[in-house]
Chains A and B, each alone.
Chain A
């Protein structure tokens, strides 16, 4: 009865074993977890293209990193944790040097595996905030900001420079009701108590992303002074449209860094004034971007649709790939090896030091703010700014905003400790550190 199935799977296993491409010794395998399908494709596609194009550009322009070609391969996750795990098992035998899950859910599932499998995880500005503690999570990296930093920065911006400025106000929090949106919740709750503002919660279930009208009825009833959004996929566009319908003042509606250009654009003129926190420059006016255009897009090696290049999401993708490239370069420098492994790249990540000079050298001066990571700090809690939608593009409308680190750090410490305690037998850090 189960004969056929066993044979089938054995055959399949054999086929897979044969299929595993024999990578040359002098190449570095970088899998990209992407999603161009499903309900979150709207957010995923731009990021996927940005990540892919920057790495392809390095291959085309410099022949890889340090003379070693990068083997870039996409695995489609559909923002689905199950498929993400499947992707992880698919890429693992090919010795990936780094994994970018691009989903808080997948990140949470992979965190315990990272130290066992010796593959570092880069969850750029998403994932578990507590993972900023490098001494407890040596394999997880979430630069340049955690969701808690982001929350503190938005609150500071709204409070006119300090969170205490919000005393007595009502702040609404409209969030994607999954691991991602909940991540910031403890911080908001702590701050609401500390700074004395009234916090109203508007969770949007993934199934109701495009059917938010009852949440907006609540918002009309509560009339919050400010509204903060942590949304993803189709939720962002739908929320901006609902805000237009509900006549919510757009300049008091601030989102975390995820809405792309298409999200406010689809809501028409009413979306003018919508604000978003970001940590890297808008647009594509940087030397590295011109190289992407020259070596990748103009040669037809990119899947990016017209208008995607230089958008917020595309730029997020480029930033993510810049971190990957920088980590690999650092790893090569530290170990002296050319074809680095996951363990080397973990050390590379801990030694990322993007100062002005280095940013200029890689052609991204002005795009990213300088920052460095250390063994203890895997995040940098970098500075951000607020950008505003003017109907066609984003413009910077604020000065640098730094994280309220005094309020974020205790929470991170507490959460990291709790995580290690809850997962009995959480390993003590014994990985090397190159910058004590």
Chain B
């Protein structure tokens, strides 16, 4: 009886008695969710266009942010460092296409997934070799990212919104809108969608697969850079961040592997769900449950929709 009370009554009583904390928790979850979505977005881009489950997205994020900060440390002004980083992400996209994707074309999905594991290892070693393993502070001011916080006095308490988090949400919104436009309205975007639908049909109407892959990997690289800047500004830029990137997996799978809106909605469900779960129900289990809660939330949704919320329906034929 007590247990039922603790599960079904106490958390809600807490929410009502301290609404400001509830708002704060939801906000934190929202921001976390947006950042998960950004990582998941990079996954989706690549999966849509090349069918590759790109495990290296997390490390690409760290690598991009590290390159930016590392170049700045070596004396490059912020804007030049940013431009150079974008150029390096482009070089990475070309390199991946030449060295990894092209020789592995037409291999089963799991082989391509493994190749991105290889890429992950390579980038970890390479990044640490060039820039060192020390955590670095993100160059927030030089990039004109806001700092400080807005305190709202509502609901009989105080809710703190970090300006940086608001910026992150805004940037995510702009990126999603931009990518949406890019996919719907531009020539390359249409070609990308064609490739996503059917590789061979796309090839037969004269779309260059190789070029498309470079474009999506580059786009994913830019998304990774934006994500890396945001995560880096929240904590530090270090290789420990790649662990955070694993949280993007349930987000991605919950949203459906091929859907951009899915990545966003999935991110918000997971982000807010895990924070609420951890904050209100976590203490019952000794805390720390947000480590696995995200996966269980995703699993629960999948049992009802095996292809994810926005994924394409899986049709199987003999």
Contact = CB atoms under 8 A, between A and B. Distances in A.
A and B touch in the complex (CB under 8 A): yes
Interface of A: 36-42, 45, 177, 201-203, 205, 207-211, 213-214, 217-218, 220-221, 233-234, 237-238, 241, 245-247, 262, 265-266, 268, 305
A210 B132 CA distance: 19
Given A237-B135, A246-B160, A247-B160, A221 B18 contact: yes
28 contacts: A39-B238, A39-B239, A39-B240, A40-B240, A41-B238, A42-B135, A45-B132, A45-B133, A202-B287, A205-B291, A207-B291, A210-B234, A210-B235, A210-B240, A210-B243, A211-B244, A214-B275, A214-B282, A217-B24, A217-B28, A218-B279, A234-B236, A234-B238, A245-B160, A247-B160, A265-B137, A266-B135, A305-B134
A224 to B, nearest CB: 15
B236 A238 contact: yes
A254 B231 CA distance: 26
B150 to A, nearest CB: 12
A221 B21 contact: yes
Interface string B127-149: 01000111101000000000101
B120 to A, nearest CB: 14
Contact of A234 (B128, B240, B275, B278): B240
B291 A213 contact: no
B180 interface: no
Interface centre among A210, A233, A246 (most CB of B within 10 A): A210
A245 B135 contact: no
A328 to B, nearest CB: 30
A234 B133 contact: no
B216 to A, nearest CB: 28
Nearest to B277: A214
Contacts of A38: 133, 239
A227 to B, nearest CB: 16
Contacts of A177: 288
A210 B133 contact: no
Contacts of B243: 39, 207, 209-210
Contacts of A233: 240
B288 A205 contact: yes
A217 to B, nearest CB: 5
Shortest Cβ-Cβ A-B pairs, 7 listed? A41-B133, A39-B240, A210-B235, A234-B240, A266-B137, A42-B135, A238-B235
Contacts of A234: 135, 235-236, 238, 240
A36 B133 contact: yes
Contact of A214 (B128, B234, B246, B278): B278
Contact of B275 (A37, A42, A213, A266): A213
Contacts of A37: 128, 133
Interface string B35-75: 00000000000000000000000000000000000000000
A177, A201, A207, A246 pick with most chain B CB within 10 angstroms = A207
Contacts of A209: 240, 243
Contacts of A202: 287
A39 B245 CA distance: 14
Contacts of A201: 287
Nearest to A207: B243
A202 B288 CA distance: 9
Contacts of A203: 287-288
B63 to A, nearest CB: 15
Contacts of B291: 205, 207-208
A41 B24 contact: no
B134 A241 contact: no
Nearest to B32: A213
B76 to A, nearest CB: 18
Contacts of A245: 149, 160, 162
B239 A214 contact: no
B25 A262 contact: no
Contact of A210 (B160, B241, B275, B278): B241
B28 A42 contact: no
Nearest to A267: B137
A177 B234 CA distance: 21
Contacts of B240: 39-40, 209-210, 233-234
Nearest to B287: A203
Contacts of A218: 279, 287
Contacts of B28: 213-214, 217
Contact of B279 (A208, A217, A305): A217
A257 B196 CA distance: 54
Interface in B236-289: 236, 238-241, 243-244, 246-247, 274-275, 278-279, 282, 287-288
A217 B244 CA distance: 19
A366 B101 CA distance: 61
A262 B241 CA distance: 17
Nearest to A216: B28
B137 A210 contact: no
Contact of A220 (B21, B128, B244): B21
Given A209-B243, A210-B238, A245-B160, 20 more contacts: A39-B238, A41-B133, A41-B239, A45-B132, A45-B133, A201-B287, A202-B287, A208-B290, A211-B235, A214-B28, A214-B274, A214-B290, A217-B279, A234-B235, A237-B236, A241-B235, A245-B162, A266-B135, A266-B137, A268-B147
Nearest to B125: A37
Contacts of A213: 28, 32, 275
Interface string B171-192: 0000000000000000000000
Most chain B CB neighbours (cut-off 10 Å) among A41, A211, A233, A305: A211
A150 to B, nearest CB: 23
Contacts of A238: 235-236
Interface string B59-95: 0000000000000000000000000000000000000
Nearest to B24: A217
A208 B134 CA distance: 18
A37 B128 CA distance: 7
Of the candidates B24, B28, B160, B236, the one having the most CB atoms from chain A within 10 angstroms of its own CB is B236
Nearest to B140: A268
Nearest to B31: A213
Nearest to B240: A39
B287 A217 contact: no
Contacts of A246: 160
A262 B288 contact: no
Given A38-B239, A210-B235, A210-B241, A220 B24 contact: yes
Interface in B196-224: none
Contact of B235 (A45, A207, A217, A237): A237
B157 to A, nearest CB: 10
